[in-house]
């Protein structure tokens, strides 16, 4: 799924080209780790409740943040908008649970591809909720992106699974998180947003955990659970470090590598080979998403500096 972090852009002097390159490598490795995490989550849902699987995932993310807290100190917890930060954590939990439910039924590559309609939903929310100005070309990109999603899921053509609705819900929750991120970007540092999201998520999921907990009765399940937490935590640390040293606008397109990794893992682990229509739909989503990022970058440059 799209990065569980997806933090607001930082406001700092532009990094050098070498720092941007290092950031790209770290971001790609981070998403490779997140994709491995999704694979283990899909396997675990065959035995464990999705909420329990999300808990294993979130504990890994929280441990990654705790390591950073130990290194950087409690300043990471200072927020000007704590209520919005906690709300963002709630949306992260809802997004994660919906996504894990969906991948227990549908191919990983399909689920990952559909979640990438989130940037288009952000554009819709920006236009109708935040009253942002959206030009005709971005509206066209949004429409084409949704067409790409319809090609992937193909409702009414015998390949649609109802669980894909959970994937769409995950994308909607993720988009709402991004809208909150825009409100938080001028108030709190990226690391503070990441910290609140991770810690709020683990607290909320832990409240529900006693009602769904099943003790894994096989060593392989425990190993998968530990691997799930480890890859989630590793991915978090790598992406945070990438955001620390490189420009977010440079790193944003790397998010789409999740579709590639999801396809790769889905084929290697589950023998799920996307058909031609799915690949076409993924390509349309990626192209439309990259164009949307390009237009947002141009719009940001056109804004007067304050």
Residue 247 in any domain: the answer is yes
Number of structural domains found in the chain: 1
Residue 158 in any domain: the answer is no
Residue 57 in any domain: the answer is yes
pLDDT above 90: residue 60: no
Residue 258 has what pLDDT?
84
Q: Mean pLDDT across the stretch 74-97? A: 91
Q: Nearest Cα to 110, choosing from 74, 150, 73, 143?
A: 150
Is residue 128 classed exposed, middle or buried when 0-12, 13-18 and 19+ CB atoms within 10 A define those classes?
A: exposed
- pLDDT tens figures, 27-52: 889 889 999 999 999 999 999 999 99
Q: Mean pLDDT across the stretch 269-288? A: 85
- pLDDT tens figures, 122-156: 888 878 877 777 788 878 888 888 888 888 877 65
Residue 244 in any domain: the answer is yes
Residue 157 in any domain: the answer is no
Kindly report whether the global pTM for this prediction surpasses the value 0.85: no
Q: How confident is the model at residue 7 (pLDDT cuts 50, 70, 90)?
A: very low
- The domain of 178 spans 17-130+166-276
Among 2-16, 123-137, 174-188, where is mean pLDDT lowest?
Answer: 2-16
Residue 282 in any domain: the answer is no
Residue 34 in any domain: the answer is yes
Residue 224 in any domain: the answer is yes
**Secondary structure (DSSP) of 31-97:** HHHHHHHHHHHHHHTTTS-HHHHHHHHHHHHHHHHHHHHHHH-GGGG--S-HHHHHHHHHHHHHHHH
Distance CA 121, CA 130 (A): 13
Q: Nearest Cα to 205, choosing from 72, 57, 63?
A: 57
């Amino acid at each position: 799924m799209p990065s569980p972090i997806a933090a607001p852009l930082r406001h700092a002097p532009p990094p050098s080209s070498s720092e941007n390159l290092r950031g790209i490598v770290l971001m790609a490795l981070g998403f490779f780790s997140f994709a491995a995490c999704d694979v283990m989550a899909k396997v675990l849902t065959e035995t464990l409740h999705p909420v329990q699987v999300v808990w294993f995932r979130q504990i890994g993310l929280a441990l990654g943040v705790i390591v950073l807290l130990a290194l950087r100190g409690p300043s990471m917890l200072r927020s000007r908008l704590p209520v919005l930060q906690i709300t963002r954590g709630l949306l992260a939990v809802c997004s994660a649970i919906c996504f894990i439910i969906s991948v227990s039924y549908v191919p990983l590559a399909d689920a990952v591809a559909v979640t990438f309609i989130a940037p288009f939903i952000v554009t819709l929310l920006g236009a109708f909720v935040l009253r942002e100005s959206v030009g005709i070309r971005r509206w066209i990109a949004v429409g084409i992106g949704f067409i790409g999603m319809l090609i992937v899921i193909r409702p009414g053509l015998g390949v649609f699974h109802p669980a894909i609705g959970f994937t769409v819900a995950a994308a909607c929750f993720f988009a709402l998180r991004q809208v909150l991120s825009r409100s938080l970007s001028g108030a709190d540092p990226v690391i503070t947003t990441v910290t609140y999201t991770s810690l709020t998520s683990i607290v909320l999921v832990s409240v529900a955990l006693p009602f769904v907990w099943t003790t894994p009765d096989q060593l392989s399940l425990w190993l998968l659970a530990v691997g799930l937490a480890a890859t989630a935590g590793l991915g978090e640390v790598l992406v945070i470090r990438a955001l620390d040293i490189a420009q977010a606008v440079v790193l944003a397109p790397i998010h789409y590598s999740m579709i590639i990794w999801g396809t790769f893992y889905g084929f290697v682990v589950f023998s799920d080979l996307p058909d031609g229509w799915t690949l076409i739909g993924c390509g349309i989503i990626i192209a439309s998403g990259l164009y949307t990022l390009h237009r947002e970058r141009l719009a940001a440059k056109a804004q007067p500096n304050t």
